[in-house]
Amino acid sequence: MRVMSTAGASAEAAAPLDPAAALTVLPGVGPTTAARLAAAGLSTVADLVQWFPRRYRALRELEAPDESATGELVRLEASVHNVALAWLPGRRAMVTVTFATASGALFLTRFFNQPWLRKNYPIGQQRAVEGVLARKSSRWVLENARILPVGADPAGEVQLRYREIEGVSAARLQNWIATALRDLDIARLQSSLPALPTGLEAHDDPVEDLLAAMHRPADVAVHERARRHFAVREAVELFAQVERARRARERRAAQAFPVDVELAARVLARIPFDLTADQDRALRAIWQRLAGPAALGVLLQGDVGTGKTAVAVGAALAVLAHGGHVAFLAPTELLAEQHFATVSTWLADTDVRVELLTATTRRNVGELGEFAGPLLVFGTHALLTKDTLLPRLGLAIVDEQHRFGVGQRMALVNKGNNPHVLVMTATPIPRTYALTLFGDLDAHQLRERPPGRGAVRAVHVRTEQWARVEQSIRRAVRRGGRVFVVCPAVGEDGEKGGAVRVHRTLARAIRGAKIGLVHGRLETESRQAVVAAFRNGDLDVLVGTTVLEVGVDVPAATLIVVVAADRFGIATLHQLRGRVGRGSRRGLCVLCGPKTPRIAAVCATVDGFELAEADLAIRGSGELLGTAQSGFVELRALDPSADLELLLQVREAVRGDPR
Ligand code: ADP
Ligand code: MG
């Protein structure tokens, strides 16, 4: 990787670059590259200079490779000891440069597909090298190494990394950014940026300095100041959109579905248990808003097992009682099927038509929307496809919203004639996300759990102790409980840890128990049959993939075993343990595999919100970008793990801004 150079300034007195110009104005950017850049959202010179790198971690300076620094980003001063070129299969060149530190310790760096590099490093030359320290077959290696130019001032403490763009090397990208920064018509860019709302002017600086500080900062403080400036701009754009969405919703006159005392009593009588105080409060708030005049937009947040479904059904019933249509969108077929099965029994012997609409059951779509009476349709994203129109849609419910993007939510809204919208999420999301993804909605929380349903403790068991896991399963089954076993893959060819193989192992090891297998590759009917058999007790143990993750509700389940738990994220593990302890008996979750920080976090707390924060801390915000992007704007400078204060400040300013 080359460092950016501003040097190449061959004093061409070309006209300054128009920020709005297409990227093909840059030397070396042809139509193919331009298309690749466009796919990443980069079309103009202005986009390019605002393609911000992330500061990813502090760098540690070492005298010599050191066990305690493995996995860390380090910088070493060393002299070139040896350079070798090897050809790998497929005519891939590999240049290995071996360095020796002052104390004589050796470490390697490797570069692929750049055979000419071997000429760049004369033996004995002193260089500073940065990379991630690793130990490979008893040798020290700096991975993703960067050999700094001779005499480079290695004092820079800010480590920047650009998001990868498919088919465009980091070095080329950085060169283009450097060129663009050098030749940019800065005044024009400056004047094209919207003024910041009142109260946020303090964040303003000349954009030239800010851009330089984003791409090649002198120190952390300078970079951070610039980052905050652009974060404020992003947040302003974000909340402008959020507010637009909110106002659009509030302006939309929606059909009113008033709930009087008599109707409330009838609805509550349909739910086969007494609501908790939290459920009751949330439901009544929703009813109130359903009475109009504007469209309801509610985010219902509650940890796994707090009983969000009942609140949603209570809201649905208010609409159904007035003859309206309700769509209930679930992230997986299994979950849609389960909601359909449960609620069908709650609504048996009413005039409500309850339907299931998934990829496999799509045949009856056409006439559904035309149905004249009350209709409750459960479905997956198949509900979102174009040909499904629900003109009489009064309420759209989106379960586990974090699995859908804002765009999908909007798509559902557009299916009907200004429906009310209720969005639910169990994965407790950090507040920054609530603001960035759901800022246009009114939030309600379920904190309390239904009586007798404690949170479920997780324990860790190492893979070598699998016998203990089998013991626990045997014990649970003997006591009449039911057991989930979740695997990271189907493993059709019988690989280790795959559901197929685990199923076979358990069938042999736990004699007398009835053990079923379920995964996404099964036909809907057989999958439904297996889950039903498990629910009604014809099976004791259900082995499956993460199709079991979200929402599956089998009150008799007391134990869940997660195989290769290190391969799952925190949110998934937390969801999975929510599958047990839903009946009167305590549940237990066994996480099997090497003990990772994620597993440790899940074992350490049962609180979903604490876990969400831990997740953010472990993953760092870089990885969370994928999620953030599905929100209103793409976040480049905003850091969801750090900028809560900033977001709140900007939200205030934007709301108070008359524009
Ligand atoms: P989640 O919030 O994770 O979607 P569910 O809606 O699936 O939770 O509810 C979890 C379990 O608790 C279900 O078995 C449900 O029937 C039960 N449940 C929900 N509310 C109550 C309540 N108020 N009293 C008793 N059981 C309840
Ligand atoms: Mg649920």
Could you tell me which of 392, 390, 444, 449 has the C-alpha nearest to residue 422?
Answer: 444
Number of domains in the chain: 4
Of 264 and 223, more confident: 264
Residue whose CA lies nearest to ligand 1 atom number 10: 305
> How far is ligand 1, taken at its centre, from the CA of residue 212, in Å?
54
Could you tell which of 306, 337, 422 is best to mutate to test the pocket of ligand 1, judged by most ligand atoms within 8 Å of the CB?
306
CA of 399 to the centre of ligand 2 (A): 7
The CATH number covering residue 480 comes to 3.40.50.300
The protein residue with its alpha carbon nearest to ligand 1, atom 5, reads 307
Which ligand ends up closest to the CA of 311? 1
Among 421, 446, 471, identify where a domain stops: 446
Task: Please name the residue whose Cα sits nearest to atom 27 of ligand 1.
Answer: 450
pLDDT at 642 over 60: yes
Q: Are residues 433 and 461 in the same domain?
A: no
Tokens 């195989």 sit on residue: 563
What digits encode the pLDDT tens for the residues 437-452? 677 788 888 888 888 7
In a domain, 374, yes or no: yes
Same domain, 419 and 531: no
Burial class (CB in 10 A: 0-12, 13-18, 19+), 613: middle
Last residue of a domain, one of 606, 622, 652: 606
CATH number of domain containing 145: 2.40.50.140
- The residues pairing with 298 across neighbouring beta strands, listed in sequence order, are 422, 442
Q: How far is the CA of 155 from the centre of ligand 2 (A)?
A: 52
> How close is the Cα of 553 to the center of ligand 2, in Å?
8
**How far, in Å, from the CA of 450 to the mean position of ligand 1?**
6
Q: Which of the four pLDDT bands, split at 50, 70 and 90, describes residue 422?
A: very high
CA of 311 from ligand 2 middle (Å) equals 10
State whether 289 and 403 are in the same domain. Answer: yes
User: Which one is predicted more confidently, 108 or 202?
Assistant: 108
Of 79-83, 161-165, 283-287, 295-299, the one with minimum mean pLDDT is 161-165
The residue to mutate among 279, 309, 535, 576, having the most atoms of ligand 1 within 8 angstroms of its beta carbon, is 309
Which residue owns the Cα nearest ligand 1 atom 12? Answer: 307
| Residue 570 backbone dihedrals phi, psi, to 5 degrees | -60, -45
d(CA 568, CA 622) in angstroms, rounded, equals 18
Average pLDDT over residues 95-123: 92
Secondary structure (H, E, C), 513-574: CCEEEECCCCCHHHHHHHHHHHHCCCCCEEEECHHHCCCCCCCCEEEEEECCHHHCCHHHHH
Ligand that lies nearest to the alpha carbon of residue 268, given by its number in the listed order: 1
pLDDT of residue 448: 86
| Distance of CA 357 from the midpoint of ligand 2 (Å) | 18
Ligand 1, residues at Cβ distance < 6 Å = 273-276, 279, 302, 304-310, 426, 450, 551, 553, 555, 578, 582
Asked if 344 and 389 sit in the same domain, the reply is yes
Closest ligand to Cα 275:
1
Task: Provide the β-strand partners of residue 83.
Answer: 97
Stated as kind and residue range, the H or E segment containing 484 is strand 482-486
229: left (phi over 0), alpha (psi -120 to 50) or beta: alpha
pLDDT cut 90: percent of the chain above it: 39
Ligand 1 atom showing the smallest separation from residue 446 Cα: 2
The answer to whether residue 268 is domain-embedded is yes
Q: What are the backbone angles phi and psi of residue 23, rounded to the nearest 5°?
A: -70, -15
Q: What number is the average pLDDT over the span 580-605?
A: 88
276 CA distance to ligand 1 centroid (A)?
Answer: 10
Ligand 1: nearest atom to the Cα of 304: 3
Domain co-membership, 299 together with 439: yes
User: Is 439 inside any structural domain?
Assistant: yes
Closest CA to 57 of 39, 75, 42, 37: 75
Specify the range with the lowest mean pLDDT, choosing from 313-322, 378-387, 513-522: 378-387
Atom of ligand 1 nearest to the CA of 583: 14
632 inside domain: no
Q: Looking at residue 234, what is its pLDDT? A: 86
pLDDT at 331: 82
Angle at 567 between CA 561 and CA 572, to 5 degrees: 65
- Quick one: 94 and 171 in the same domain? no
Q: Whose CA is nearest to atom 24 of ligand 1?
A: 450
Same domain, 70 and 31: no
pLDDT of residue 427: 63
Ligand 2 centroid from CA 395, angstroms: 18
- Residue 335 and residue 439 in one domain: yes
User: Residue 248: inside a domain, yes or no?
Assistant: no
Check residue 189 and report its DSSP letter. H
- Per the structure, the complete domain to which residue 47 belongs is given by 1-53+163-192
Looking at the fold, whether 484 and 512 belong to one and the same domain comes out as yes
Shared domain check, 186 and 305: no
Phi, psi of 418 (to 5 degrees): 50, 60
Please identify, by atom number, the ligand 1 atom nearest to the C-alpha of residue 306. Answer: 2
Q: Is residue 303 included in any domain, yes or no?
A: yes
At residue 82, the pLDDT reads 95
The average confidence (pLDDT) of the chain is 84
Mutational test site, ligand 1, from 281, 340, 582, 584, max ligand atoms within 8 Å of CB: 582
pLDDT for 247: 84
Q: From atom 17 of ligand 1, which residue's Cα is the shortest distance away?
A: 307
pLDDT of residue 516: 94
- Shared domain for 336 and 352, answered yes or no, is yes
Q: Please identify, by atom number, the ligand 1 atom nearest to the C-alpha of residue 279.
A: 23
Q: How far is the CA of 555 from the centre of ligand 1 (A)?
A: 9
Does 585 reside within a domain? yes
318 shares its domain with 465: no
Predicted confidence (pLDDT) at residue 612 exceeds the cutoff of 50: yes
Which atom of ligand 1 lies closest to the CA of 312?
Answer: 6
| Helices (H), ranges, 135-185 | 170-183
Cα of 553 vs centre of ligand 1, distance in Å, is 8
**Confidence (pTM):** 0.68
Does residue 386 fall inside a structural domain? yes
CA distances from 390 to 251, 366, 383 (A): 21, 9, 9
CA of 446 to the centre of ligand 1 (A): 11
Q: Last residue of a domain, which of 417, 446, 475?
A: 446
CB 416 within 8 A of CB 292: no
Closest residue to atom 18 of ligand 1, CA basis = 307
User: Which atom of ligand 1 is nearest the CA belonging to 578?
Assistant: 3
Domain CATH number, residue 13: 1.10.150
Residue nearest to atom 19 of ligand 1 (CA): 307
**What is the mean pLDDT of the segment spanning 272-298?**
93
For 341-390, the pLDDT digits (tens) are 889 999 998 999 999 987 776 656 667 778 889 999 998 877 766 566 77
Q: Where are the alpha helices (DSSP H) in 159-307?
A: 170-183, 186-192, 207-215, 220-251, 261-270, 277-290
Query: Which tens digit of pLDDT belongs to each residue from 133-189?
Result: 999 888 999 988 888 877 665 545 667 778 788 888 888 998 999 999 999 999 999
